[in-house]
Structures are given as C-alpha cells and as structure tokens.
C-alpha cells in the first residue's frame, strides 16, 4: 500500500474532532468510535502511547477522566503543543470532553458538572516595562 492510499484510507474513517486548551497548551483531539469489540480505548499522543507521553499515573488519570462512565470504546489520536506537561493533560481532558459531547449530547450535563467543559484561561501575566523582574514586582523603595 502506497503512502497516498494509506492517507486516503485513513481519511475515510469517521471521527469526531475537538480542540482543548489550558494556559498555553493546545490539544487537537480526534475520537474514532470503535465497533463492538473487547479492545479498550487506545491513545496515541504525538505518535506516542499514553503511558509513555505522560510519565505519572496522575496525569494519565486527568486525561482519561471523561471516559470514566462510558461503555463505548474509542481510538483517540491527539496532537498537543505548548504549555507544560500538566496543563497538556488538562487540555487533553478538555478536548476529549468537547468531542464526547459532540458525539453523545446526553453527556453534556455530567461533564459540565464535573468542570471538564470549562476552559481554564489562567495564564502567566506578561512582564511590564519599568518593573523589576516579573509583572507586578516593584523596586524596593529606600527607607530613609
């Protein structure tokens, strides 16, 4: 099979796409619904497996929380860039939750209550001119 045929075959697969964000991390998520099979949900993040991309158990749990109550299985492919590794896992969670609500609208209330559909916009404040070091740090004034 040539590379072109592979791309064409891959593009015929139906998927649900969504974008998740957290601070400066951006996760482009694609969910491919699997047929009724015994296989578990599989992840491919930047061409790596989930366990090798996120080294700690905590981050893998954060990323996979939206699948907790689902019996349906998916193949998940993700492209993540920016941010730190923790905010990348939360961006992935946000993207998965958005894709799941597009696929199964009844899940919206459950995921919304848990806070998975809310984008966390907090980010580091930019440095201002005339200040020492960080955004709000002032120079120390002389006492006498």
What pLDDT does 27 receive?
Answer: 96
CB count in 10 Å sphere of residue 93: 27
pLDDT, averaged in runs of 10, over the chain (144 residues):
56 83 94 79 90 92 88 90 94 95 92 92 87 84 80
What pLDDT does 44 receive?
Answer: 93
Strands 74-81 and 25-33: antiparallel
What is the second-level CATH architecture of the domain 9-114? 2-Layer Sandwich (3.30)
Which three-class secondary structure state does DSSP give residue 34? coil
What pLDDT does 73 receive?
Answer: 86
Domain positions in the chain are 9-114
What pLDDT does 130 receive?
Answer: 83
94 closest CA partner among 115, 78, 108, 76: 115
């Amino acid at each position: 099979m040539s590379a072109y045929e592979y791309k064409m075959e891959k593009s015929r697969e139906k998927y649900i796409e969504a974008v998740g964000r957290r601070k400066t991390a951006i996760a482009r998520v694609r969910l491919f619904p699997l047929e009724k099979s015994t296989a578990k949900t599989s992840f491919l993040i930047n061409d790596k497996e989930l366990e090798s991309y996120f080294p700690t158990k905590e981050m893998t749990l954060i990323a996979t929380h939206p699948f907790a109550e689902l019996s349906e299985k998916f193949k998940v492919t993700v492209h993540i860039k920016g941010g730190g590794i923790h905010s990348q896992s939360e961006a992935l969670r946000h993207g998965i939750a958005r894709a799941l609500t597009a696929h199964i609208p009844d899940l919206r209330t459950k995921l919304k209550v848990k806070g998975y559909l809310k984008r966390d916009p907090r980010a580091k404040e930019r440095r201002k001119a005339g200040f020492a070091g960080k955004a709000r740090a002032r120079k120390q004034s002389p006492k006498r």
